[in-house]
Amino acid sequence: MSATTNRDGSTVPGPGRRARTVDVLVIGAGPAGLAAAARLAAAGAGAVEVVDREEQAGGVPRHCFHSGFGLRELRRPMSGPAYARHWCDLATGAGAALRTGVSVTGWSGQPGRDGGTAQGRNAGPAGGPVRAEGRGPLVVDTTGPDGLERVTAGAVVLATGARERPRSARLVPGTRPAGVFTTGELQQAVHLHHQRVGLRAVVVGAEPVGYSAVRTLRGAGVEVAAMVTDQPRHQSSWASGLGARLHHRLPLLTGTTVTALLGRGRLSGVALRHADGRTTTVACDTVVFTGDWIPDHELARLGGIALDRGTRGPAVDTAFRTAAAGVFAVGNLLHAVEPAGTAAREGRLVAGPVLRYLADGVWPGGQVPVEVDAPLRWVAPNRIDPRGPRPPLGRFTLRTAGTARRLSALVVTQDGRLLHRERLRRAAVPNRPLYASADWMDRVRPDGGPVVISAG
Amino acid sequence: MAVTTSGRLPDEVYDIVVIGAGVVGSAIARELGRHPLRIALVEASDDVGDGTSKANTAILHTGFDAVPGSLESRLVREGQRRLAAYAAEAGIPVEPVGALLVAWDEEQLAALPRLVEKAERNGYHEARIIGADELYAREPFLGPGALAGLDVPGESIICPWTTTLAYATQAVRAGADLHLNCPVSGIVAGSPHELRTGRGPLRTHTLINAAGLRADEIDRMLGHADFTVRPRRGQLMVFDKFARDLVRHILLPVPTALGKGVLVAPTVYGNVLLGPTAEELDDRTATGSTAEGLAFLRERGGRVLPALLDEEVTAVYAGLRAATEEDDYQIRCHPEQRYVTVGGIRSTGLTASMAIAAHVVELLADAGQRLGTPRELEPVRMPNIGEAFARPYERAELIAADPEYGRLVCHCERVSRGEIRDALASTIAPSTPEGLRRRTRARGGRCQGFYCGAAVRALFTSGPAGPVPGTTGAAGAEGGEPSLRPEVGP
């Protein structure tokens, strides 16, 4: 991991490494990163550069060929690639430099050193805001076809997104045959590379992305044998679930887990265990593991930037500030995952705090952590600076784990003191967004313990 | 001097045929490659090192805990020296991290002095007992309750894929034929021997059986029943690179009768390995993982290194060790049949491979095989896929000379288009994306293809070699036939 940093901690580039300086470096050219770059460039932040390791900018929407992007914020339905192009055009049109095929391989030094490196540890030392100049510049190393660079930036915005957990990380036993996908790989195989996938597939997971996988498979001429979820019901929209079942005769197997992959060379089937304990085998040559998202937090961790224990993305306050001075984070790196429009909104909203930081160099200390109790899984943002703004749309985003009892209310406390209680209008379902109002923020004691959100 | 993957086999009588292109068979073919002989290496699978050799704990052992006086003890000790030197020459990733054997209870603690004594009898003199304080100072993330440890500084981690590939590449470049997809289903012993294979008959004067899990079946085809392979399955889990900082040495338990137990070790790719299980099986193809096996490993791993379980699992795999009912390697020469069996090569086979090869060639010479005057092999330099040395994405001069090394395709493992292109054009090109992964690490990281899977597959099918069946020429030192796959290496 240290191969890309000078061992003496200096920022002099190694042999053959070009040194460059920008005002703001945005890492990741998905909707969040592009929206941030567009707004920052338009607002006169100076040299704004957005880098992406893929050859094409746009992030995940690049390979989501279904419609429905942009409805909320752009007021028109777009396909994923069109939506990706929209943000690319906006960023470059505003004057941001967009560089693709460039990988950020690490930091020179550890920007998060002062904030602690252990996950879940409180961000920042206790106390008031501090001027950040003393902490040294932010410097990253990159690799691209044009060579190696060492880029110094006044501020860095991490927008590295999220990915689906693959089969191995889900610890699904069995053989290791070909024909095992995530939705991300499936969509790229079908839509970007026009590869043949298989003849008969099982889709694991019934979040909205699972239905996207079904659409992609059907479009590629693959029969979908079944959709399998360990949850008691699907977690997509009512229309999507019903439509898939009635219109496409898609069997949805709820309360069902995949106990093994079968076959040598090529997948021959999946072994299932049903809610009642029955075990069956479904013959298929393709299986798609969908959802179960995890933030792509490699750069945050390489920089020693504190992660939130729940989201596993960098811990951030309501102004998208991480524990490392000058390093911001936006998009699904913070909450895996919310719709692309939410990521883009955060990209726009981060511009203000970045500009302010570039002007005054002030970084907050003594933020109050926001934590959740089971069955809640995570909350984002998850740090509060009492002087900071309210979160986007005045609400915190949460997720709950699978639970038998339905959640009826959320309770917010600090040191046992009730800050807020709200009834939930809809039942909380795993893998679907759950929101808590931020109306209680001004009642948080800056010198108090963590704020805890629990199910009431 | 050719690598073939389909079609009829050459209608000639080879001097020597080696059955099995695992690490042992490939090492033997390489050793024989020094001699002016017509050699064929035949392999049932579509790649070299595709059985036990690809799915093990990837450790270069000192042999400190072998059975003193056994053939295995001698060959492991000698093989370790040979392979360490060869790895440095051929660019095979090796990291001399050392091992710490951890005693968790009084019984294990009492066993440590006997292990030191055993190490001495195996000719290993560096092992020493260390107290809990030193143990925790050297492994700060070790779980609570360790009483003491045995420091074995000579143990290393190695890349098993590159090792086998280097041997086989050198053998092919020295003139050997490699016939893949070529399972042997019967043998008519005679002069010459005639092998019945999935690709037609193959004739040879001398035969070497390095068939691993099938070594006893081949043996029986020639009328021998000296041993029976009892596959011992080892399931292993590979943790994400973020776990690498949690462990500095190979952490071993005190060995039991069934094997060396579950270890936690760094890998040369910068991951952490947990495993193996040790399950006696009858099925020689049961390389699947099981829920029970994975739960067992997590339970063990959590005790050794509690923080490990917070990290993501990058890969799970299972390999079968070719154990037998005997407690030693089963290497036997049958001079009257011009036949050598190399069986029962268990988990130490990777370490011992070069010494086994030298031993087999000695046996052949003693049995009267005419070997001719040996010559020096053309050195081989393998692409570096380990973390101990600069990878292509870190090398400015390489990218300046060829920007393809700066174009990353697999982001988790930082594999460039240039490396994938080189692998597809190499002497022994991969015939599946899995083979490409073992040569480059492409698609082997934490995302398992979410980002790069389709792109890697696209490069694979459009590559210079691709999965096109048939004979492909290989760049031979002698240049007897035009090369279809020019060697383009960094």
Question: Tell me, what CATH number does B298's domain have?
Answer: 3.30.9.10
Burial A397-413 (b: 16+ CB within 10 A, else e): bbbbeeeeeebeebbbb
Q: Which of A4, A54, A144 sits opposite B394 (nearest CB)?
A: A4
Helix extents (H) in B69-124:
71-90, 106-121
| Whether residues A361 and A232 fall in one domain | no
pLDDT digits (tens, 9 = 90+) for B344-390: 998 899 999 999 999 999 999 999 999 999 999 999 999 999 999 99
Specify the number of domains making up chain B. 3
Query: With an 8 Å Cβ cutoff, is A281 touching chain B?
Result: no
Residues of A in contact with B411 (CB under 8 A): 53, 103
Q: Rounded to a whole number, what is the distance in Å from the CA of A142 to chain B's nearest CA?
A: 9
Mean pLDDT value of segment A315-337: 97
**pLDDT, position A6:** 45
- pLDDT category at A246 given cuts 50, 70, 90 is low
Asked if residue B414 has pLDDT above 70, the reply is yes
Half-sphere exposure of A249 (CA within 13 A, CB side): 2
Under an 8 A CB cutoff, do A182 and B432 touch?
Answer: no
Q: Is residue B181 assigned to a domain? A: yes
Give the range of the structural domain holding residue A266, as residue numbers without chain letter: 166-291
How many Å separate Cα A259 from the centre of its chain? Answer: 28
| B481 within domain boundaries | no
Is there a domain that residue B146 lies in?
yes
In a domain, A380, yes or no: no
What is the predicted pLDDT for the residue at A405?
Answer: 63
Q: Which tens digits make up the pLDDT trace of B56-67?
A: 899 999 999 999
The verdict on residue B89 lying in a domain is: no
Q: Is B466 helix (H, G, I), strand (E, B) or coil?
A: coil
User: Within a domain: residue A225?
Assistant: yes
Contact A193 B294 (CB under 8 A): no
Q: Which residue has the higher pLDDT, A71 or B50?
A: B50
- Mean pLDDT to the nearest integer, B266-273: 98
Residue-wise pLDDT tens digits, B73-89 = 999 999 999 999 999 99
The CATH number of whichever domain residue A188 belongs to comes to: 3.50.50.60
What is the full DSSP assignment across A106-149?
EESS-TTGGG-SSTTPPSS-SSS-EE-GGG--EEEEEEETTEEE
User: For residue B169, what are its two tokens?
Assistant: 């590449």
Question: Is there a single domain that holds both residue B32 and residue B47?
Answer: yes
User: Of the candidates B290, B406, B448, which has its C-beta nearest A168's C-beta?
Assistant: B448
Chain-chain contact of A143 with B394 (C-beta, under 8 angstroms)? yes
Domain identity same for B284 and B333: no
Residues B120 and B240 in one domain: yes
Using only C-alpha atoms, what is the Rg of chain B? 22
- Quick check: is A198 in a domain? yes
DSSP assignment string, A300-349: HHHTTPPBPTTT-SB---TT-B-SSTTEEE-GGGTSS---HHHHHHHHHH
DSSP state of A441: G
Q: Are residues A70 and A157 in the same domain?
A: yes
Catalytic residues of B: 61
* Model confidence at B227: pLDDT above 60: yes
Point out the domain boundary residue: A349, A366, A383: A366
Domain final position from A291, A309, A341: A291
Indicate whether A373 belongs to any domain: no
Across B34-41, average pLDDT: 98
pLDDT, chain A, mean: 90
Size of interface A-B (CB pairs under 8 A): 133
pLDDT at A12: 58
- Examine the domain organization and report whether B171 and B292 are in the same domain: no
Strand pairing of B39-42 and B59-60?
unpaired
Say which residue the tokens 């459009």 belong to: B462
Contact of A184 with chain B, judged by CB distance below 8 Å, is answered with yes
Q: Are residues B146 and B122 in the same domain?
A: yes
Q: Are residues B444 and B353 in the same domain?
A: no
Task: State the total domains in chain A.
Answer: 3
Q: What integer pLDDT is reported at residue A292 of this predicted model? A: 95
The string of pLDDT tens digits covering residues A43-71 is 999 999 999 999 999 999 999 998 889 98
Whether A219 and A280 map to the same domain: the answer is yes
Is the pLDDT higher at B49 or at B486? B49
B334 with B271, same domain: the answer is no
> What are the tens digits of pLDDT across the range A227-245?
999 998 888 877 676 777 6
Q: Are A363 and A128 in contact (CB under 8 A)?
A: no
Alpha-carbon distance B83 to B89, whole Å? 10
Strand partners, B42: B19, B179
Residues A205 and A224 in one domain: yes
Express as a percent the part of chain B with pLDDT over 70.
93
Same structural domain for residues A350 and A412? no
Neighbouring C-beta atoms of residue B78, cutoff 10 Å: 19
pLDDT tens per residue across span B80-134:
999 999 999 999 999 999 999 999 999 999 999 999 999 999 999 999 999 999 9
Which secondary-structure segment (H or E) carries A245? helix A238-247
Task: Give the per-residue pLDDT at B1.
Answer: 63
Looking at the structure, tell me whether residues A27 and A157 fall in a common domain.
yes
Residue A14 lies in a domain: no
Question: Are B191 and B280 in a shared domain?
Answer: no
Q: In whole angstroms, give the CA distance from residue A299 to residue A33.
A: 15
Task: Clarify whether residues B285 and B239 are in a common domain.
Answer: yes
Segment among A339-343, B64-68, B178-182, B485-489 with least mean pLDDT: B485-489
Ranges of beta strands (E only) in B5-134 are 13-19, 39-42, 59-60, 94-95, 99-103, 128-131
ipTM at complex level = 0.92
Could you tell me if residue B484 is inside a domain? no
User: How confident is the model at residue B347, as a pLDDT?
Assistant: 86
Shared domain for A280 and A181, answered yes or no, is yes
**Inter-chain residue contact A169 with B312, CB threshold 8 Å:** yes
Does a structural domain hold residue B255?
yes
- Whichever domain contains B23, its CATH number is 3.50.50.60
Name the residue among A87, A54, A128, A69 with its Cα closest to residue A363.
A128
Provide, as residue numbers in chain B, all residues whose Cβ is less than 8 Å from the Cβ of A16: 395-397, 400
Residues B406 and B266 in one domain: no
pLDDT score for B45: 97
Residue B268 lies in a domain: yes
Query: What is the reported pLDDT for A67?
Result: 85
Whole-number Å distance between alpha carbons of B115 and B129: 10
Predicted local confidence at residue A433, as pLDDT: 85
Residues of chain A with Cβ-Cβ distance to B408 below 8 Å are 53, 101, 103, 143
Same domain, A123 and A75: yes
Which helix (H) or strand (E) is B215 found in, with range? helix B215-221
CA distance B79 to B73: 10
Which among B391, B406, B454 has the least Cβ separation from residue A144? B406
Angstrom distance (rounded) from CA B472 to CA B430: 12
- A9 burial via Cβ count (<10 Å: 0-12, 13-18, 19+): exposed
Judged by CB atoms closer than 8 Å, whether chains meet at A173 and B457 is answered as no
Q: What is the pLDDT of residues A349-398, one digit of tens each?
A: 999 999 999 999 999 888 999 999 999 999 999 999 878 899 999 999 99
Asked whether residue A10 is assigned to any structural domain, the reply reads no
| Closest-approach residue (CA) in chain B for A4 | B394
DSSP annotation string for A205-216: --SHHHHHHHHH
The answer to whether residue A332 neighbours chain B at the CB level (below 8 Å) is no
If asked whether residues A158 and A171 sit together in one domain, one would say: no
**Rounded-to-integer distance, Cα A113 and Cα A306, Å:** 9
Asked if A287 and A346 sit in the same domain, the reply is no
Question: Cβ(A263)–Cβ(A269) under 8 Å?
Answer: yes
Average pLDDT of the residues in B294-318: 97
Select from A291, A323, A350 the last residue of a domain: A291
From B261, B288, B321, give the residue that closes a domain: B321
pLDDT (0 to 100) of residue A120: 33
Residue A136 and residue A267 in one domain: no
- pLDDT more than 70, % of chain A: 88
pLDDT beyond 50 at B478: no
Contact call for residues B30 and B170 (beta carbons, < 8 A): yes
Q: Which residues of A touch B404 (CB under 8 A)?
A: 145
- The whole domain housing B464 covers 392-469
pLDDT at position A247: 64
The model's pLDDT over A141-194, given as tens digits with 9 standing for 90+, comes to 999 999 999 999 999 999 999 999 999 999 999 999 999 999 999 999 999 999
Compute the residue count for chain A.
456
Cα A323 from Cα A369, distance rounded (Å):
11
CB A399 within 8 A of CB A377: yes
- For residue B75, being part of any structural domain is answered with no
- Classify residue A153: in a domain, yes or no: yes
B272 token code pair: 């952490």
Q: Is the dihedral of CA B430, B435, B441, B446 positive or negative?
A: positive
B33, B182: one domain: yes
Question: Is B281 in the same domain as B244?
Answer: yes
* Domain assignment of residue A9, yes or no: no
Q: Which of A39, A77, A41, A37 is nearest to A61 (CA)?
A: A77
- B472 pLDDT higher than 50: no
Binning pLDDT at 50, 70 and 90, where does residue A72 land?
A: confident
Alpha carbon distance A169, A189 (integer Å):
21
Output the pLDDT for position A66: 87
pLDDT band at B489, cuts 50/70/90? very low
